[in-house]
Amino acid sequence: MSRPRIVIVGAGFAGYRTARTLSRLTRHQADITLLNPTDYFLYLPLLPQVAAGILEPRRVTVSLSGSLPRVRLVLGEADGIDLDAHTLRYTGPEGGEGTLPFDRLVLAAGSVNKLLPIPGVAEHAHGFRGLPEALYLRDHVTRQVELAAAARDREECAARCTFVVVGAGYTGTEVAAHGAMYTDAQVRRHPMRTGMRPRWMLLDVAPRVLPEMDERLSVTADRVLRQRGVDVRMGTSVKEATHDGVVLTDGTTVGTRTLVWCVGVRPDPLVESLGLPMESGRLLVDPHLQVPGHPELFACGDVAAVPDLTRPGEFTPMTAQHAWRHGKVCAQNVAASLGIGERRPYRHRDLGFVVDLGGAKAAANPLGLPMSGPAAGAVTRGYHLAAMPGNRVRVAADWVLDAVLPRQAVQLGLVRSWSVPLESASPEVARVPGRPEQRDGDAVPAGGPAGAPGGDTPDQRPDPPGGEPSEQQPGGEPAKQQPGGESAKKQSGGEPARNQPGGEPAKQQPGGEPAKNQPGGEPAKNQSHAPRATGKPRPPGKSDRPGKARKPTRAAGASRSAGPGADPGPEPPENQPAPGPDIAPGPVKRTDGRTAEGDS
């Protein structure tokens, strides 16, 4: 007799705890498969410290294969679920498709960024839900301070060293608090020519900071933020975002190159495809975390609307504490459905919250006892060390080093702005060149097919305010794409590359030699004359996941949203920033025969 097959979707707080507990309970009595886009569990509460340079990225990640014995890891993202056939379709990181049969299915897909219909936000803001976004923000903030320090114009300097964070919840408050400390330390070592200092703004339509938490925590956090010079504006949000600033709902215009979107999250749209009863985008489950009418289906974490037995008529909030506890109870009930142990309902006791405000400052109310100052800081860090499933010694060592040594304020350029779009359905995965992500039937932006003039896809839109400098800056990599133009590598017909300044010819026209020394370009390396294939026919009978388009196999930079099929056209550009007030339109000819590059 074959062993029962258990498939878990997602390795966040709920999915990871479910897999770990099931591995211990079932031993070798069941086959457990964990489907996740990455090979690590991310400890989200410490992500602001990664962006601030306190912790190294790997400190907040825990290897799934190394910490989950007897669990098979499958890298990929779920595309669809057939409850009748007991199968789950998924797409691997390299575009391959697969199917996982199951006897028990646990949905713990987590959440994604919550977008609002505000003009310009999707194009110019970045979220803070994954490791790539934290690494990008760290590089971007460092770069803006360095550019502001070199700027002679006070207006440009002020815009570059102004950082706007929208959302005064748990994440936004910590990002603003840590960010202010990080930039202040940079300026102390390298003062700006104009005598200006970095300015951080925290906006929210709520009446106070941390509106979902105890008011005493809110007062403490507000006081610490204002002491650090953070401009806290409650009852205010962004009305419009542009390339060089934001317009606030009170009519104020703020020049900035940085907009961090921490408004909130929404459940992963995967569960919407099931057609089962929902509550505010979450799948309704009973107190045992089981979907009524489907004994094989369980849900926990942010995608599950779990009844709060301590507050009749309400559901547990979307917090890491609840997700972690959901995972344990869900694993026990899945095992009970296989005849191992007994079922139990989910019932919780609020242990309080902690908010790390950087340095020795924090706000905490463990077991309902309000605390602030160094005592709260010690409790906060002790709680994180106890809650982390691994890397405790490494995290503690980084904290000690940060207390006695200055931080290294350097930009590595490992994550580009177009790799972490705000509308990404998978913020934990950075989009990289060559990653197959489009298939026939994926949506095409309103401006036209991918690669057509006037149609910037999510992967190809210009950098947000103050995006990275062109890749042929001094000290940078060779530019692969002229600013504001399409790729010149594969155009045919002998026409000049479209939108290139001065109408320079394409680098790889049929019958011609590759351009080896064009300004801002790199030598063509074994490029073919035929356009690259951008997708493959979709197998019949497969539907796209609502709100989370299927990834394989599309050219890097194509749209992810669902919609009618279209010819993607020539290879899309690799998203160099469009010309703007701070971006040079391209190589400039000098009288001495050299080439002058833009500085941003």
Residue entry with tokens 């690669």: 451
DSSP letter, residue 519: T
pLDDT of 392 higher than 50: yes
What is the radius of gyration, based on Cα positions, of the chain? 25
In degrees to the nearest 10, what's the CA dihedral of 405, 189, 381, 330?
-110
**Per the structure block, which two tokens stand in for 287?**
């107190």
CA dist 76 and 542 (Å) reads 17
Residue from 200, 205, 202, 198 nearest 250 by CA: 205
pLDDT of 23 higher than 80: yes
Lowest-pLDDT choice from 117-131, 253-267, 562-576: 562-576
Confidence at residue 554, expressed as pLDDT on a 0 to 100 scale: 37
Confidence at residue 505, expressed as pLDDT on a 0 to 100 scale: 40
Mean pLDDT in residue range 346-372: 90
Mean pLDDT in residue range 262-272: 91
Mean pLDDT in residue range 302-314: 93
Secondary structure string (H, E, C) spanning 135-185: HHHHHHHHHHHHHHHHCCCHHHHHHHCEEEEECCCHHHHHHHHHHHHHHHH
**Per the structure block, which two tokens stand in for 323?**
């997700």
Mean pLDDT in residue range 213-226: 93
**Strand order from edge to edge, sheet including 31-36:** 71-75, 31-36, 5-9, 104-107, 297-299
Mean pLDDT in residue range 271-289: 94
The per-residue pLDDT for range 586-600, each reduced to its tens digit, is: 444 434 444 443 333
Confidence at residue 432, expressed as pLDDT on a 0 to 100 scale: 67
Tell me which of 151 and 306 has the higher pLDDT: 306
DSSP letter, residue 116: -
Mean pLDDT in residue range 63-90: 95
Cα dihedral sign, 125-131-132-138 = positive
Cα dihedral sign, 301-304-309-312 = positive
Tell me which of 462 and 274 has the higher pLDDT: 274
Model confidence band, residue 196 (pLDDT cutoffs 50, 70, 90)? confident
Confidence at residue 455, expressed as pLDDT on a 0 to 100 scale: 33
Confidence at residue 577, expressed as pLDDT on a 0 to 100 scale: 45
**Per the structure block, which two tokens stand in for 315?**
């559901």
Residue 482 phi/psi, 5° resolution? -70, 140
As a whole number, the mean pLDDT across the chain is 78
- Verdict on whether the full-model pTM lies above 0.75: no
Residue entry with tokens 């609307």: 305
Model confidence band, residue 211 (pLDDT cutoffs 50, 70, 90)? very high
Structural contact between residues 581 and 243, judged by C-beta atoms closer than 8 angstroms: yes
CA dist 392 and 386 (Å) reads 8
CA dist 429 and 377 (Å) reads 31
Give the other-Cβ count within 10 Å of 564's Cβ.
9
The per-residue pLDDT for range 540-598, each reduced to its tens digit, is: 443 344 444 444 433 333 333 333 344 444 444 444 444 443 333 344 443 444 444 33
Model confidence band, residue 433 (pLDDT cutoffs 50, 70, 90)? low
- For residue 293, the Cα-to-chain-centroid distance in whole angstroms is 35
Confidence at residue 407, expressed as pLDDT on a 0 to 100 scale: 87
**Per the structure block, which two tokens stand in for 260?**
């961090």
The per-residue pLDDT for range 437-477, each reduced to its tens digit, is: 443 333 333 333 333 333 333 333 334 444 444 434 444 44
Structural contact between residues 319 and 95, judged by C-beta atoms closer than 8 angstroms: no
The per-residue pLDDT for range 466-525, each reduced to its tens digit, is: 444 443 444 444 444 444 433 334 343 444 444 444 444 444 444 444 444 444 444 444
Confidence at residue 454, expressed as pLDDT on a 0 to 100 scale: 35
